[in-house]
Amino acid sequence: MPLFGRVHESARNMNTGVKESVKNDGSECLNVNDGSERLTLDNDDGSKCLNVNDDSERLTVDDSFERLNVNNGSERLTVDDSSERLNVNDSSERLTVER
């Protein structure tokens, strides 16, 4: 739970431009940078990454098998696990399912 406590503390400091990195047992890293309004949660082994950036309004979750990407600029949702792909893009009104 200490990681979530640090997230809450970082939220209180969001207007100060504070950049924080927190390592928990060497497996998790939390990075908050108010200049880019970015929150990154990444395991050191590169297996999971959560990235929220308000400039592009993008959320990316990637565990090497599945990727979820939501970007309000392009209104795109992509799920890819190397055998299935779902792509929804409202600007071109395209839906693709690939196996």
What pTM, to 2 d.p., does this model score?
Answer: 0.16
φ and ψ at residue 75, rounded to 5 degrees: 50, 55
The predicted structure's pLDDT at residue 91: 57
Query: What string of pLDDT tens digits covers the 99 residues of the chain?
Result: 344 444 433 344 444 443 444 444 444 444 444 444 444 555 555 544 455 544 444 445 554 544 545 554 544 445 544 544 445 555 555 555 554
Distance, CA of 95 to CA of 15 (rounded, Å): 39
The predicted structure's pLDDT at residue 5: 40
- How buried is residue 97: exposed, middle or buried, by Cβ count under 10 Å (0-12/13-18/19+)? exposed
The predicted structure's pLDDT at residue 26: 42
